[in-house]
Amino acid sequence: MTTAVKQNIKQMIRRGLGWGGFTKPMLKDTVSIFVYHEISENPSRFCEQYNLNIKPKLFAEQMDFIKDHFHVIDPDQLLEGDFAAPAALITFDDGTPGYFHEAVPIMAREGIPSIIFLNMAPIEGELFWSGLITYLTEHDPDFIKVLHDHAPAQAAVPDFLLCDSNIVRDYIESIDFAPVEEKIRAFYGPFAGLSDLDAVRDNPLVFFGNHLYNHYNAAKLSDDELRQQYLLNDQKILHYPNGRSYFAYPFGQPNLCFTDRQTELLRSLGAKAVFSSSGRVNRRGQVASRYDRIGIDASIKTVEDLFGLIQWMNLKTSMGRN
């Protein structure tokens, strides 16, 4: 059975779950936090390969049916807790240009607020860590050998999540990196710039959050490294009036990408809210050590698809798979 056939079957099952009539009662007193990445007609190879892009027309349709079936709130309201349910919060990660040039105008027409969790390093011109490690683990067999010498391959764990900064830095210093860097930047494509952030700094529907200075897997960072990455990024984000000390883990998967102890550390550093991405809905009024988010991709074409995805993730959770 091909991957495409499997994906079609999964989508049919999820849509069937969404048609079952069970989702709305299940969403009583809940907040669904949806996470996006890029909105573009011409996404980078990185965004296409990892299913991170949604075309603007479909994104606009998603915003319509989310607004029709949820009370859309902003991140400050999430923490204050004074809102009607079922509620939804729209979030974005990283800092690609489609958020600023495509998504914000679409959401502005509907009065929909959102928060984008930024990596300021690539916005300021540094290499995007996630693009760097995915490129090396997929296109450089010499790097893969070095990586597996230090971190043996693990079933069901992608190689890029095994990378730490020391392994990558030592490898880069051992080769002629300039031509490789050019290919990596072409692979993950452009990032937003400081002018894009300045253009929305006073927009009451736009909020900036913290995604570490660069897109590191927190589980591969020491406490000192995590502290440095968080505080540097927080300082830069709070330079803007719409900046908030709200934090979303890069990659976002519990245990594989962060620990509960790291969440406690981030809260001690001033993070007022911490977000992961394993696909659960959140209960309104809960005092959460972290909030969970649901990834939205181009397979979500109707509200039945969305409700089905929520049901699907709920079933996975109940079976202990998340």
> Does residue 158 have a pLDDT over 80?
yes
Which helix (H) or strand (E) segment holds residue 4: the answer is helix 3-19
If asked whether residues 116 and 143 sit together in one domain, one would say: no
CB 183 within 8 A of CB 123: no
Average pLDDT rounded to a whole number, residues 157-184: 96
CB 299 within 8 A of CB 11: yes
Considering only CA atoms, which of 318, 282, 314 is closest in space to residue 85? Answer: 282
Could you tell me where the beta strands, DSSP code E, fall in 171-254? 206-210, 243-248
- The DSSP secondary structure of 254-319, one letter per residue, reads TTTS--HHHHHHHHHTT-SEEE--S---EETT---SSB--EE--TT--SHHHHHHHHHHHHHHHHT
> Does residue 317 have a pLDDT over 90?
no
If asked whether residues 237 and 161 sit together in one domain, one would say: no
What pLDDT shows up at residue 26? 80
If asked whether residues 51 and 137 sit together in one domain, one would say: no
Share the mean pLDDT of the chain. 92
> In terms of residue numbers, what domain contains 148?
129-190
Q: How far apart are CA 211 and CA 244, in angstroms?
A: 11
If asked whether residues 106 and 137 sit together in one domain, one would say: no
Domain end call among 190, 220, 241: 190
If asked whether residues 256 and 287 sit together in one domain, one would say: yes
**CATH code for the domain of 24:** 3.20.20.370
If asked whether residues 34 and 101 sit together in one domain, one would say: yes
Query: Residue 205 in 3-state DSSP?
Result: coil
Domain end call among 190, 220, 237: 190
Total domains in the fold of the chain: 2
User: Quick one: pLDDT band at residue 82, thresholds 50, 70, 90?
Assistant: confident
For residue 250, the one-letter residue type is P
Average pLDDT rounded to a whole number, residues 148-164: 94
Q: How far apart are CA 291 and CA 312, in angstroms?
A: 18
Average pLDDT rounded to a whole number, residues 64-82: 95
Average pLDDT rounded to a whole number, residues 289-317: 89
If asked whether residues 178 and 233 sit together in one domain, one would say: no
pTM score: 0.93
Considering only CA atoms, which of 197, 192, 181, 160 is closest in space to residue 38? Answer: 192
Domain end call among 190, 217, 241: 190
If asked whether residues 24 and 78 sit together in one domain, one would say: yes
If asked whether residues 288 and 198 sit together in one domain, one would say: yes
User: Quick one: pLDDT band at residue 319, thresholds 50, 70, 90?
Assistant: low
What pLDDT shows up at residue 321? 47
If asked whether residues 182 and 196 sit together in one domain, one would say: no
If asked whether residues 276 and 141 sit together in one domain, one would say: no
Considering only CA atoms, which of 273, 259, 270, 271 is closest in space to residue 218? Answer: 259
If asked whether residues 134 and 167 sit together in one domain, one would say: yes
Q: How far apart are CA 113 and CA 73, in angstroms?
A: 7
| Length in residues, the chain | 322
Q: How far apart are CA 199 and CA 208, in angstroms?
A: 13
